Amino acid sequence: MDEKTRDDLLQLFRSKFNRAMRFYLESCTRCGTCTDACHVYASTGQTKYIAAYRHELIRRLYKRYFKARGHLWPSLGEARELTDATIEELYEAAYSCTGCRRCMVYCPFGIDTQMLMSIAKLLLIGKGAEPEILTLLADTSIEKGKSMELFKEGFLTGIKRLEAEVVKQWQTEAGEAAIPVDVEGADLLYVALAGAHSIIPAAAVFNAAGEKWTLSFFEAVNFGAFVGDPSKTKLILDRIVNEAKRLKVKEVCVCECGTAYRVMKYLSGSQPFKVTSITEAHARYLKEGRIRLDKTKFPGPITYHDPCQIARNAGVIDEARYIIGHLTDDFREMTTDARYNWCCGGGGGLVALGDETLDFRMKSSRVKVDQVKATGATILSTACENCHTQLSNLNDHYKMEVDVQFLSSMVARALVPA
């Protein structure tokens, strides 16, 4: 690696500094309490997957380039030069970490491994060594935001075809406007994913609850966050923020996508609208008696996988239980404490990388499979696209013989006609 590249990368490193990051870089005592926290370590037993080991890679660079000791006595803290070999190690650490933050629950200081890994991810981008598909997906999202007018028509055509399906399945009275788009003054802007499964059931529930809603032109998922590029994350987010402001909605409701929800909730800043997840919206409709569910629709025990970015990292926990309480009398918890739920093993962009990461995802998530099996449930529900894909993959690979379901789809299917 030449001098110039290294300087540029160190500049990127420096750009990630803030108070919390400095705390995390200064304080790890390598006490080893976090060893059992990572699902990858728990499933594979390889030291390089222990949280402290992952972030010590970052800390070694920090000691070398940002502390005097790195010059005076580098071997004291095993300070490390930034080289091509280091970059490879960073890739291994960052793209085997799903950013679930389970280790943060174990650490006596609460060191945030995901945040430290974001330094690794940014260095990888600077070196052009990140998974290019994630950058491509992020760029595609940004392009859609820039040239919305160009793509609007195609989008509306697609929506029209979905509307027919909503009407067919739920005999909704909303008629032609079963999926309203671009409605100024609506109460709620629903940000979905590109797939029909993310739009049709949601539409049915919104209509049944009599919500004044409108569908966003944009997909919720933020690939900028997956690849760890702060400026792209912001651009992708801003498309939705601007749309919400233009339509003057009071609430932005994010579909079942963990990253999208956490980014929207915590990075959109102070806005005239509130941010909710679709799980929160559904729980609210139930509480207010705006929708009713049929408990006989899903016989058999149901368990629920808390998506890390929605539960542990954004606090939507009780709402899901409240909904499931209306779907079954036989709910099986995976853990007694939601903070300790195992990650599905698909976060941090791993699922988006598709077949490339499939083998690793299966090997690294054995503990999740054991957790699901122990519940004895036949239906495995969750509220995140990433988790759903990963859990379905696990279901096939480990022959768990459960039915992996989106919670929102279950709500839609169990709707009792008014």
Residues between 293 and 352 with contacts to another protein, criterion CB under 8 A:
311-315, 317-318, 338-339, 352
Beta carbon nearer to another protein, 239 or 291: 239
State the residue for tokens 């049915």.
204
Asked if 259 interacts with another protein (CB under 8 A), we say no
CA distances from 215 to 21, 180, 250, 397, 407 (A): 37, 6, 14, 35, 19
Stretch that binds another protein, among 143-151, 281-289, 325-333, 369-377 (CB under 8 A): 143-151
Beta carbon nearer to another protein, 219 or 251: 219
Asked if 173 interacts with another protein (CB under 8 A), we say no
Asked if 242 interacts with another protein (CB under 8 A), we say no
Asked if 36 interacts with another protein (CB under 8 A), we say yes
Beta carbon nearer to another protein, 217 or 291: 217
Asked if 191 interacts with another protein (CB under 8 A), we say no
Alpha-carbon torsion (277, 283, 288, 289), positive or negative = positive
Q: Report the C-alpha gap between 87 and 189 in whole angstroms.
A: 41
| Coil/strand/helix, residue 229 | coil
Q: Are 384 and 257 in contact (CB under 8 A)?
A: yes
Beta carbon nearer to another protein, 151 or 299: 151
**Helix ranges, 268-338 (H):** 278-287, 318-325
Asked if 194 interacts with another protein (CB under 8 A), we say yes
Beta carbon nearer to another protein, 12 or 21: 21
Compute the chain's Rg from CA coordinates. 22
Q: What would the x/- binding string for another protein be over residues 15 to 34, using CB under 8 A?
A: --xxxxxxxx-xxxxxxxx-
Beta carbon nearer to another protein, 67 or 413: 67
Residue 32's CB is within 10 A of a number of other CB atoms, namely: 12
Q: In the β-sheet with 379-382, what is the strand arrangement from edge to edge?
A: 331-332, 302-305, 379-382, 403-406
Asked if 47 interacts with another protein (CB under 8 A), we say yes
Asked if 154 interacts with another protein (CB under 8 A), we say yes
**Helix ranges, 171-217 (H):** 196-208
The correct pick among 1, 5, 6, 77 for binding another protein (CB under 8 A) is 77
Asked if 202 interacts with another protein (CB under 8 A), we say no
The correct pick among 4, 157, 296, 417 for binding another protein (CB under 8 A) is 157
* Nearest alpha-carbon partner for 194 in 215, 220, 169, 213: 220
* Nearest alpha-carbon partner for 99 in 253, 230, 239, 228: 228
Alpha-carbon torsion (367, 260, 339, 188), positive or negative = negative
Q: Report the C-alpha gap between 360 and 261 in whole angstroms.
A: 26
Q: Report the C-alpha gap between 260 and 264 in whole angstroms.
A: 6
The correct pick among 68, 231, 336, 417 for binding another protein (CB under 8 A) is 68
Q: How far is the CB of 102 from another protein (least distance, A)?
A: 9
Q: How far is the CB of 397 from another protein (least distance, A)?
A: 17
Asked if 128 interacts with another protein (CB under 8 A), we say no
Query: Which 8-state DSSP code applies to residue 187?
Result: S
Beta carbon nearer to another protein, 4 or 19: 19
Q: Are 10 and 81 in contact (CB under 8 A)?
A: no
Q: Which of residues 261-300 bind another protein (CB under 8 A)?
A: 266-267
Q: Which of residues 356-415 bind another protein (CB under 8 A)?
A: 385, 388-389
Asked if 11 interacts with another protein (CB under 8 A), we say no
Asked if 67 interacts with another protein (CB under 8 A), we say yes
